Amino acid sequence: MDANPVLVELIRGGWVENRHRAAFVVRDGAGRVVARVGDTARPIFPRSAVKSMQALAMVTSGAIDRFNLSDEELALACASHQGEPEHIEGVTHFLSHLGLSAADLECGAHAPTSPEARKALRARHEEPTALYNNCSGKHSGMLATSQALGVDTHGYVGREHPTQVAVREAIELVIGEKLSVDRCGTDGCSIPTWAAPLDAFAWGFARMSTGEGLPADIAAAAHRIFDAATSHPLLVAGHHHLDTEAMEAFGGRLMLKGGAEGVYCGAVRDKGLGFALKIDDGHAMASRALVAALLLEIVDPDAGQTALLERYATQPAKNVRGLEVGALAARRDLVREALVGV
């Protein structure tokens, strides 16, 4: 297979300084490929981009009904949050709802990714707990799954723990592909991450959007999970983040979730389309530029939505004095070429 094409470039002084190769695919609920660029059959780790798929284990285990989980809790289960006050309060309430606390989380602790939240934590002379981990909402959902399955919550992050087996089976169901132990790694938050082709993840998101080919209960649950995330986008990421800003702007039409190492997945819900992309070198800002350029072509944005996506598709590069010295920009021409007629 030839190398993936350069789909994002950093331009400085009119000269290409960095080139980011990537692949993306758009599919519908029936599995038809609407657009494809690069090697989308190569298995990739989706990382946090598939948290909404992982959240389906809360359905198959009966956790959503048993605990009468709220839409806010479901949104947090899909989140890579920035450790802002809304997130810490929400996860604390989620755990309390389960009769648990931060001590039960096995995701580890890190400082908030929000600069404002980090500054506030330092000002209070506090150390971050596991609540501040961007995956603490997802882990709360996994603890709920463990309780609903009637198994020990200790060690719930292990690959063979019944909770992770349920997560794996939920992902397999929606992507239509078995996940192999020889392509299993450990995510940043200590749970297993399973590699599969971009093609499979794009189809999975299309099927979660349309319900096509899924059991009725899974289709209904996927719809509710998407509704929860798109109705509470601030909980999914945070202030000044593309995922939150885009889902707010599109008012339920768009499910969008990034993952570490340059992955993005999501669904254009009213069109029944799923998409998945990966930046080969894992550059996060490049992944935002590419997904914004892709959305500009497939979501039919209005003027305000267009302005938002344009801001991410071409991101100014500034030096330490704040002077604009270049731009990180998606190759809009190549994205558009792949989507002719969509």
Beta-carbon-side half-sphere exposure of residue 246 (alpha carbons within 13 Å): 29
Apex 161 CA angle, 100 and 110, nearest 5: 55
- Assign residue 45 the CATH number of its domain: 3.40.710
Pairing label, strands 192-194, 184-186: antiparallel
- The residue segments making up the domain with residue 231 are 6-338
1 within domain boundaries? no
Q: Is residue 209 part of a domain?
A: yes
pLDDT at 1: 59
pLDDT value at residue 340 = 62
Residue 170 within any structural domain of the chain: yes
Q: Which of 275, 123, 256 is nearest to 198 (CA)?
A: 275
Query: For residue 271, what pLDDT is reported?
Result: 97
Number of domains in the chain: 1
Residue stretches of the chain with pLDDT short of 50: none
188 contacts: CB under 8 Å, gap ≥ 6: 47, 135, 260
Q: What is the pTM of this model?
A: 0.96
CA angle (218, 205, 156) in 5-degree steps: 60
H or E segment to which residue 235 belongs: helix 233-236
